[in-house]
């Protein structure tokens, strides 16, 4: 039996990574598809666990060979999901989670049947800015770019099947877990 494909999107700082980690911890059959990126590793990043870190030349070669289910340029770096990674997990009966931006989510929805798209929203732009500042690893220029990109990305929230406002983490996680069960049942 083939698994289900969930695509979670949302602006940087909305809490999607934390929610996805918690969802994975609650669902043993759910597997995260590890994305490829050309961005440099951040402190604590592990190649093959957080991302597959590729040079731009490696990434572009894989694009030319048609290996990506989706890919995009985000904040000056390339990100993508290899088709074979996703299809292998689905064929093993696992549900697969993609944590990608709205551009990638749209590409996946065009190429794969039965995709469930979920968009995570912050409660407000002010809260989003506070969350981004509290991370402390972006320069003011990058922060400004992330906030501008967040506004643009949130304009695409209605393209998802489900939209969750992450105003309370535990409550949002409960809604996410319930939503995955609803999708499973029909």
17: enclosing H helix or E strand = helix 16-26
Name the more confident of 164 and 3: 164
Average pLDDT of the chain? 91
Residue 6 confidence (pLDDT) above 70? yes
Number of domains in the chain: 1
Residues contacting residue 116 through CB under 8 Å, at least 6 positions apart: 4, 5, 6, 7, 161, 162, 183
What percent of the chain stands above pLDDT 70? 98
What percent of the chain stands above pLDDT 90? 69
Residue 27 confidence (pLDDT) above 60? yes
DSSP string, 47-61: BTTTBEE--HHHHHH
Q: What is the mean pLDDT of residues 19-41?
A: 95
Predicted confidence band of residue 138 (pLDDT cuts 50, 70, 90)? confident
pTM here is 0.85
* Residues of the domain holding 173: 5-184
Polymer length in residues for the chain: 186
Predicted confidence band of residue 1 (pLDDT cuts 50, 70, 90)? low
User: In this structure, how many other beta carbons lie within 10 angstroms of the beta carbon of residue 158?
Assistant: 8
Q: What is the mean pLDDT of residues 109-129?
A: 92
User: In this structure, how many other beta carbons lie within 10 angstroms of the beta carbon of residue 53?
Assistant: 17
CATH number at residue 86: 3.40.50.300
Predicted confidence band of residue 156 (pLDDT cuts 50, 70, 90)? very high
């Amino acid at each position: 039996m083939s698994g289900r494909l969930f695509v979670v999107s949302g602006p940087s700082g909305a809490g999607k990574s934390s929610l996805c980690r918690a969802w994975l911890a609650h669902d043993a059959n759910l597997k995260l598809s590890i994305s490829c990126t050309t961005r440099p590793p951040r402190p604590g990043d592990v190649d093959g666990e957080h991302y597959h870190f590729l040079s731009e030349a490696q990434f572009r070669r894989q694009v030319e060979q048609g290996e990506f289910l989706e890919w995009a340029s985000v904040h000056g770096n390339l990100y993508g999901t290899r088709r074979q990674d996703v299809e292998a997990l689905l064929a093993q009966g696992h549900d697969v989670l993609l944590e990608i931006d709205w551009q990638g989510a749209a590409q996946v929805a065009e190429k794969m049947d039965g995709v469930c798209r979920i968009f995570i929203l912050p409660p407000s732009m002010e809260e989003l800015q506070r969350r981004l500042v509290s991370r402390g690893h972006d320069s003011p220029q990058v922060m400004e770019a992330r906030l501008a990109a967040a506004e643009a990305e949130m304009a695409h929230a209605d393209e998802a099947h489900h939209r969750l406002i992450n105003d309370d983490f535990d409550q949002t996680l409960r809604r996410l877990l319930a939503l995955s069960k609803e999708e499973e049942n029909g």
